[in-house]
A and B are shown apart, each in its own frame.
Chain A
Amino acid sequence: MNIVEELLNNHSRLALSKGITAVENEYDNAVEIMTKIYPHTGNAYVIGITGPPGAGKSTMTDKIAKEYRKRGKTVGIVAIDPTSPYSGGAILGDRIRMMDLMSDEGIFVRSMATRGSLGGLSQKAGDAVKLMDAYGFEVIIVETVGVGQSEVDIVKTADTTMVVVIPGMGDDIQAIKAGILEIGDLITINKADREGTDKLNIEMEMMLELNPEHVSWRPPINRTIASKNEGIEAVVDSIEEHKAYLMESGKLAEIRQARIKTEVVAMVNDRVNRYIDKNVVETDDFGKTVARLSTREIEPYSVVEEIVINVLK
């Protein structure tokens, strides 16, 4: 199958799926596919949804997707779950909340495991988003658990980022506060049917009050009960308001340009790292060097100097 041709011209969902697999598994044709689809990207609006485990991110994603469908938009979803560090396997459970989206041709959901590839994941998720973009999805939602740095990097690839919090997280909230301030364009208190919602709302308000960064855009705080589809319209309204703000202020172009820069730098770093792994780290010579280093026969500074000079030759 000609993946690019089928994806761009024949609207083949199978081609889209195979294309994502190619980048996910780093198949030989991945770079070629991405090169060819790239000119067809840049049209989708990308929304990142993050928050602690079990906050209701997938339920929310499902409901937001349905709301966008009501508003006439097609929706692509990339749902990321962690790989088990013990087995290398994973249970990807996001899709379970989205099964009734399966009968809608205007929606495409892809599950992805983190596969422990720290830097690589954001690139792969970014490529999956681009493939959906090129296919023609108008809104793309990326769901990730907001715990690690690589997850934060992924949501940074979004135009609008929403952080989902829930009442009763106790001290956890302290830990994610800094992260929220940094990345949340929108804050959503889900499980608002639970005790502690008012208290959390006040805490969030205070937090935003203290942050001097929000001069032109103050993250709105919405309350939802995602499992009952309550408050979702207001969330989508807030997303659209943020989008309008970004467009009118010229910030959208700005953040997209910054993103491209980050992306290219990451890609260059990745290539360089791989080159060094293959041509330096994995050589017998390097093993011997390390042995000599550990007996202090030689010192690392000259070794590094020599390696760098060699690599740059």
Chain B
Amino acid sequence: MANVKVLVAKPGLDGHDRGAKVVARALRDAGFEVIYTGIRLTPEQIAEAALQDDVNVVALSLLSGAHNTLFPKVVELLKEKGLNDVLVIGGGVIPDADIPGLKAAGVAEVFTPGTPTGNIVEFINANVK
């Protein structure tokens, strides 16, 4: 009876929400419980929502270029709140050069434009705790 819960969130001022919605629907269709939280959120709002819904995965979407500061900030706040087992993944318009830095900061995987959603589902199933 334990369903995987995924919070899909967009930190910062970026209004591109198509990708986040596509991902949210694909995850629902794969049997996950998806909490979609909309656009323009602070890392604090995202981390608090993750705590209150006790999610297994936090999925961050950004196309504006602010990922290098906002993604690590979310990871940090999750840890601060004691959410140590949460899998954090990200996606959107993210240059390849930035990906190693994001991974070092605790983002488990980054999915860039053109990723088939099946890959995201597979990754979550293989890595969720």
Contact = CB atoms under 8 A, between A and B. Distances in A.
A110 B52 contact: yes
Q: Interface residues of B: mostly helix, strand, loop or mixed?
A: mixed
Interface stretch (B40-48, B65-73, B90-98): B40-48
A2 B69 CA distance: 34
A91 B34 contact: yes
Given A25-B1, A25-B2, A99-B41, A89 B30 contact: yes
Interface string B8-34: 000000000000000011011111111
Contacts of A17: 51-54
A69 B54 CA distance: 24
Contact of B37 (A18, A86, A96): A96
B49 A103 contact: no
Contacts, number: 86
A90 interface: yes
Nearest to B82: A14
B116 interface: no
Contacts of A109: 49, 52-53
Contact of B54 (A20, A26, A91): A20
B28 A90 contact: yes
B63 interface: no
Q: How large is the interface on B (under 10, 10 to 19, 20 to 34, 35 or more residues)?
A: 20 to 34
Nearest to B21: A91
Interface string A72-96: 0000000000011011111111011
A89 B51 contact: no
B119 interface: no
A115 interface: yes
A90 B53 CA distance: 14
B40 to A, nearest CB: 9
B53 A102 contact: no
B64 to A, nearest CB: 18
Contacts of A111: 35, 53
A124 B29 CA distance: 24
B1 A89 contact: no
A96 B17 CA distance: 13
Chain A CB within 10 Å, residue with most, of B37, B52, B53, B83:
B52
Interface of B: 1-3, 24-25, 27-38, 41, 44-45, 48-49, 51-54, 81-83
8 closest A-B pairs by beta carbon, nearest first, are A89-B28, A25-B2, A102-B45, A96-B38, A102-B48, A17-B54, A89-B31, A21-B54
Interface of A: 13-14, 17-18, 20-21, 24-27, 83-84, 86-93, 95-96, 99-100, 102-103, 108-111, 113, 115
